[in-house]
Amino acid sequence: MTGENNRSIADVLQDILTNVQTIIRSEVRLAKTEITEEAKKAGRAAGMLAGGAVAALFTIWLLLLTVVFLLAAVIPMWSAALVVLVLWQSSQQC
């Protein structure tokens, strides 16, 4: 205990400075790790969202194709495709 009481103020301040630097470095490492984890989560979510959008586009395309084939049973294929195209375009402008 006697050795601890004989430390100079400069030694104590140096220890404090070292401890503060260690704490700051640890906090920076922790922040980097947290940011990396959040970026990975966001990347996975964006990938799933993009996959869902692609699936939705294919679904719409297949539904439109189904309508064309249903109409083709009554009118020629080219006119059925034209009707679906016109209806799709008019619904997009509303």
> What mean pLDDT comes out for the span 72-80?
94
**Count H helices, E strands: the chain?**
3, 0
Tally of structural domains, the chain? 1
Report how far residue 87's alpha carbon sits from residue 85's, in angstroms, rounded to the nearest whole number: 5
Residue 64 and residue 88 in contact, taking contact as beta carbons nearer than 8 Å: yes
pLDDT in tens, 20-65: 999 999 999 999 999 999 999 999 999 999 999 999 999 999 999 9
15: amino acid identity, one letter:
D
Domain holding 56, by residue range, is 2-93
Q: Using CA atoms, how far apart are residues 34 and 26, in angstroms rounded to an integer? A: 12
CB distance 67 to 75 below 8 Å? no
Q: What pLDDT shows up at residue 1?
A: 46
* Mean pLDDT, residues 65-74: 95
